[in-house]
Amino acid sequence: MPEIVSLRELAPKIKLFEVKAPEISDKAKPGQFIIMVTEEKGERIPLTIADIDSEKGTISFVFNEVGKTTKQLGHFKKGDIIPNVLGPLGTPSEIKNFGRVLCVAGGVMIGPMLLQVRALCQAGNRVTTVIGARIKKLLFFEDEMKTASHKFYVATDDGSEGYSGLGFLKDVVSKEKFDRCVAMGPVVMMKSVCEYTKPVGIPTVVTLMPIMVDGMGMCGACRVTVGGETKFGCVDGPEFNGHLVDFDELTKRQRMFLPEERLSSLLWEKVGGEVFG
């Protein structure tokens, strides 16, 4: 049973859970994700795997308490069991010696990026990492990333830590040569990373987490347009060539159920939170 063996609050409302799931940890590779259900009436939500410990038989993931399900998940304690965890899903990241790799991560995706950075370094790459958040206090894994990477930058939207915004990337990619860029984070962030890497011709992979239901190719809720073709985020992805992704369509599709998501979240805050403890 997927028992929570440890948990950490990485930043306000951002938590890391380590969960016992030996079947998943046996198989999981960087870039893959899990789908979970937190209660009988719950929805199925995808979360990218942030760490794998096959000896302990655990996997970890990072989430932000933004919606009903993640808020509820935030109430889970050490020793609690998550009713349903399915995985590993999606196609694993391509990890090999590319040469020089630029990794850019924002928000909760800083979590899975650490796994990615470590794997890329192990494969012999020289890795430059950029992590970003809206404001300083939402940053996490700074020390871990610094240690894992060859070069390290921080950026915040308001400039409260490191660079202000991602504008400095223009400089970075023009002064240094990169063989590959990996971007994980909010759609706007990945889109702007692609705008910097495209003119200088750095192949860029982005990790897309569109709305999903089953997560294994059955529903097609997660369809994204890549290079003019419809792909399924869950089975064809989650990683795609960022220079070919239709980010505007993705943004609109992610907002499809915004009113319903707000209602659920509000109801949870008014009623659910108390019932759940």
Partner 1 sequence: MAEAKPKPKLQKEAVQMPKQKPEVRRHNFVEVAIGYSEEQALAEANRCLQCPKPKCVSGCPVEVEIPAFIKFIREGNYDASVKKVKEKNSLPAVCGRVCPQEEQCQKQCVVGKAGDPISIGRLERFVADWERQRGIDPPKKPAPTGRKVAIIGAGPAGVTAAADLAKLGHEVVMFEALHLPGGVLMYGIPEFRLPKSIVQAEIDYVKKLGVEVRVDSLVGRTYTIPELMKKGFDAVFVGTGAGLPMFMKIPGENLGGVYSANEFLIRVNLMKSYEFPNYDTPIRIGKHVAVIGGGNVAMDSARCALRLGAEEVCIVYRRSREEMPARLEEIENAEEEGIVCKFLANPVRFIGDEKGWVKAMECICMELGPPDESGRRRPVPIKGSEFVMDIDSAIVAIGRTPNPIIQRTTEGLQVTKYGTIVADENGKTSIECVYAGGDIVTGEATVISAMGAGKKAARAIHEYLMKKPK
Query: What is the per-residue binding string for partner 1 in 130-169, x denoting contact by CB under 8 A?
Result: ----------------------------------------
Judged by beta carbon, residue 9 or residue 23, the one nearer partner 1 is 23
CB of 256 to partner 1, least distance (A): 4
- 31-70 residues near partner 1, rule: CB under 8 A: 37, 41-44, 68-69
CB of 240 to partner 1, least distance (A): 14
Nearer to partner 1, 86 or 206 (CB): 86
- Length of the chain measured in residues: 277
Among the listed residues 220, 227, 241, 276, the single contact to partner 1 using CB under 8 A: 220
- CA–CA distance, 77 with 34 (Å, rounded to integer): 19
Q: At which residue do the structure tokens 């655990």 appear?
A: 58
3-state SS record for 173-234: HHHCCCCEEEEECCHHHHHHHHHHHCCCCCCEEEECCCCCCCCCCCCCCCEEEECCEEEECC
The distance of closest approach from Cβ of residue 99 to partner 1 in the complex, given in angstroms and rounded to an integer, is 30
Quick note: the x/- pattern for partner 1 over 64-103, rule CB under 8 A, is ----xx-------------xxxxxxx--------------
263 binds partner 1 (CB under 8 A): yes
3-state secondary structure (DSSP) of residue 41: coil
Per the structure block, which two tokens stand in for 220? 């097609």
**Closest C-alpha to 156, from 173, 138, 176, 134:** 134
Q: How far is the CB of 245 from partner 1 (least distance, A)?
A: 12
Sketch the per residue contact string, 240 through 259, with partner 1: x for CB under 8 A, - otherwise: ---------x--xx-xxx--
Distance from C-alpha of 250 to C-alpha of 74, rounded to nearest angstrom: 27
Q: How far is the CB of 19 from partner 1 (least distance, A)?
A: 12
The strand order across the sheet containing 33-37 reads: 4-11, 14-20, 58-64, 45-53, 33-37, 84-89
Measured in degrees and rounded to the nearest 5, phi and psi for residue 66 equal -110, -35
For the CB of residue 46, give the shortest distance to partner 1 in the complex, in Å. 13
How far apart, in whole angstroms, are the C-alpha atoms of residue 116 and residue 68?
28
Contacts with partner 1 by CB under 8 A lie at 23-24, 27, 37, 41-44, 68-69, 83-89, 213-214, 216-221, 223-225, 230, 249, 252-253, 255-257, 260-261, 263-264, 267
